[in-house]
Structure 1
């Protein structure tokens, strides 16, 4: 085990640990990280999506260096700075719809989603929020309390939480066991009570198992929210800003949400999130989240560099092309490995579901953890998600090359083969609990 990793175990609180292998890195560039000792690792996680432009992106580094040198304040709470105002203006310019909106600027998807929930409740006078089974909206407070992955795990839900299945087009599941019409019918029934302030939905789920919903799902939600006077929030913290092959993931269904939340890729590796709200909704919740360093000039400078890079290089087009290449390669791999039950995704949000039996689709939870660990040993970083922890998640940086896609496919092919042949012992993962 690397010395740096041992030091981490001795000094860093375990509440911060979500570990799949003994990763200890000292530098990074593009989609590559460098371990203590010099080994290079191809990162297909992008740090859970937060390194959407890869590591040490030149535009982000230059913007951060300049902002830190000028240091025009450290908070949006007390006043305006050019970087923070510019960031909000540039983000608004990228959104369709043309309505009067404001940008909450935060540190993470967690507080962006909490800001959206509080504002929706204040503006509508309604208390309930509707989310979906297997959803992930944050790790603290209200956003955690409406997340399906936490509620199903035993966390006390937000008072009055309405939760319905996410339309899962692959197989029946404990969380999601119905088709699109049934799901939309359940949404309709919940909204008809007249006390739901907002529907919060991920256009593609990740932590719930990398689920791409059937066409018409978001459009169906939009129609029902309009009918019942309910706000629609697209949580694109993980899948937004080009990852799914369009600039905004909601574009795939031809709708525009009332509220949009962003994070991860937005900060270029720095803590930055946003909730875009209708002006009248924002005004109802003035001063409801007071985190001292939100809207600081350094992080918003990074955000401006990220937005500029994504738009200038049209990285959503790159994600669409590379995603198709990835899916084709992984589906070819699936034909050689009985462990693979399904390969699915949109753009550079991809899931490889592992099963012990293709007929029953029984989850291969142990084998998934072993495959992820073996891929790490072979030089590729992936993680696993899903209620049964049996979906290998790929959310690589948007700056990946075709050659790196092909390398990743080869390594995952080898890792699956090593697990199927019994070459990876169970005790190898004993110290790494993952989810």
Structure 2
């Protein structure tokens, strides 16, 4: 087995910088449940689940058995030029589970990026309309069209996607329309309808509006509860398809199987990824039939919808349903939120605590009055937490929001353990015990 030092040297030599987003020197050897062990044998409590991927936890027996069983039959069969049971069964299950009693179909891919790419490609073809609308702060992926639909500070180098119009996202803590605005959600809808639609973006040329119910990489922003219903109503009135990107917060994380269920909204398109395969590459678009049938062979990937990935998806959904993981996410998530609010009372660095279920964000600021983002401090807290045995990341347009997305099997005892470590990390940073030098090698967001 390679040592941490040897792995770090080899990693720097052979792995592209284009796929790095590092926060600390983690070299994983194994994992189980909510725990990760590195190559030195040190155990960590995982408050990240690998970017909200491992929802049913590491090493789940149902998951392992499903993959082994499928491997005994075949590891591959093409869904482009044939059929196989795992893909058909998973598609049928997704159609049954997702909101909407209209005719639906399913498209399979590998990640949120290719799923959103496909949506962005098919909507203009299906509607004959040229434009899409997305929200500032969104991260929809790392392919050309998904980046065009994104508007995250980390992707400011990307120039393209002139057909996508970006609008402000309703942020209760930092309302883009001003702190004196009474209803940030209403202000957003008015901006869309009374200004954008009447100037540069006529609604009869808008194919779809893509939105995250919680803007995760943008800062774990939970919009006002009225926002999504108002947006859905706007789309219905103008004949615009509503697309919900549930890649990071879906599949049980918020306390419901899919996040739009909290708001009584039925999207025309639901985009899934990350946790759908619990670490095995898998994404899905579940959408109205007329969208996904816009043309033959318009969005095909040779190995997409393969039996192994689909078996992983089926096992993941079955485990989440049968073990009532959304209910656990709601219950333990409420407890986690309470414990984080207790930290806010003790630590002046914490400006805001927000989230739903086991998707929680802790925004760090230099001053609670000015809300000046504390980005360097966020990087230090994450690094110090790692040293103390806790894994989490920071996100946000200002790189100052601690993101907590643990596996959905997290217990209240593990919440207490993780919050205690976070408490110590915050104290160490506030007391100046974490140097600038230790975080210098890690770019983060």
Query: What is the TM-score with the length of structure 1 in the denominator?
Result: 0.97
Shift of 1:391: 0.3
Asked if 1:27 is matched to 2:45, the reply is no
Cα distance between partner residues in 2 of 1:87 and 1:4: 38
> Do the aligned partners of 2:278 and 2:316 also contact (CA within 8 Å) in 1?
yes
Residues 1:116 and 2:124 are matched in the alignment: no
Q: Please give the secondary structure, in 2, of the residue aligned with 1:289.
A: coil
Cα deviation 1:91-137 (Å, max 9, x = unaligned): 11102322111100100001111111212111101111101010011
What residue is the counterpart of 1:130 in the other structure? 133
Deviation at 1:174, TM superposition (A): 9.3
TM alignment of 1:143-222, pairs within 5 A: 143-149=146-152, 153-173=156-176, 179-188=184-193, 189-191=195-197, 192-222=202-232
Alpha-carbon distance between aligned partners in 2 of 1:176 and 1:434, rounded to the nearest angstrom: 29
- Asked if structure 1 preserves the Cα contact closer than 8 Å seen for 2:55 and 2:407, the reply is yes
Cα deviation code 1:252-275 (max 9, x no counterpart): 111100000001110011100000
Pair 1:410-2:415 in alignment = no
Is 1:308 aligned to residue 311 of structure 2? no
Confirm or deny that 1:254 pairs with 2:258: no
Alpha-carbon contact 1:43-1:396 (below 8 Å) kept: yes
What is aligned with 2:59? 56
Aligned equivalents of 1:294, 1:241: Cα separation in 2: 20
TM-score of the two chains, using structure 2 as the length reference: 0.95
What is the CA–CA distance in structure 2 between the aligned matches of 1:305 and 1:220, rounded to whole Å? 35
In the TM superposition, 1:216-295 aligns within 5 A as 216-295=226-305
User: CA offset at residue 336 of structure 1?
Assistant: 1.0
Q: Is the contact made by 2:154 and 2:397 (CA closer than 8 Å) also made in structure 1?
A: no
Match of 1:334 among 333, 339, 344: 344
User: Partner of 1:148: helix, strand, or coil?
Assistant: coil
Cα deviation for residue 177 of structure 1 reads 9.7
The answer on whether the counterparts of 1:53 and 1:398 sit within 8 Å (CA) in structure 2 is yes
What secondary structure sits across from 1:274 in the alignment? strand
Q: What is the number of equivalent residue pairs in this alignment?
A: 435
CA change 1:177–1:66 in 2 (3 A) is farther
- Partner in structure 2 of residue 92 of structure 1: 95
| Distance verdict in 2 for CA 1:216–1:5, change over 3 Å | same
Verify the 8 A CA contact 1:5 1:23 in the aligned structure 2. no
Distance 1:56 1:152, change over 3 A: closer
Q: Which runs of 5+ in 2 are unaligned?
A: none
Deviations 1:283-339 (A, max 9, x none): 113211221100000000000001111111221111111111111111111111111
**Distance in 1 (alpha carbons) for counterparts of 2:54 and 2:9:** 25
8 Å Cα contact 1:162/1:190 also seen in 2: no
Comparing 188-197 with 63-72, greater Cα deviation is found at 188-197
Q: Which moved more, 1:236-245 or 1:283-292?
A: 283-292
Q: Tell me if structure 1 keeps the 8 A contact 2:76–2:308.
A: no
Q: Of residues 386, 397, 401 in structure 2, which corresponds to 1:387? A: 397
C-alpha separation in 1, matches of 2:334 and 2:5: 36
How far did residue 418 of structure 1 move?
0.4
- SS of equivalent to 1:27: strand
Question: Where do 5+ consecutive residues of structure 1 fail to align?
Answer: none
Q: Is the 8 A contact 2:177 2:187 kept in 1?
A: no
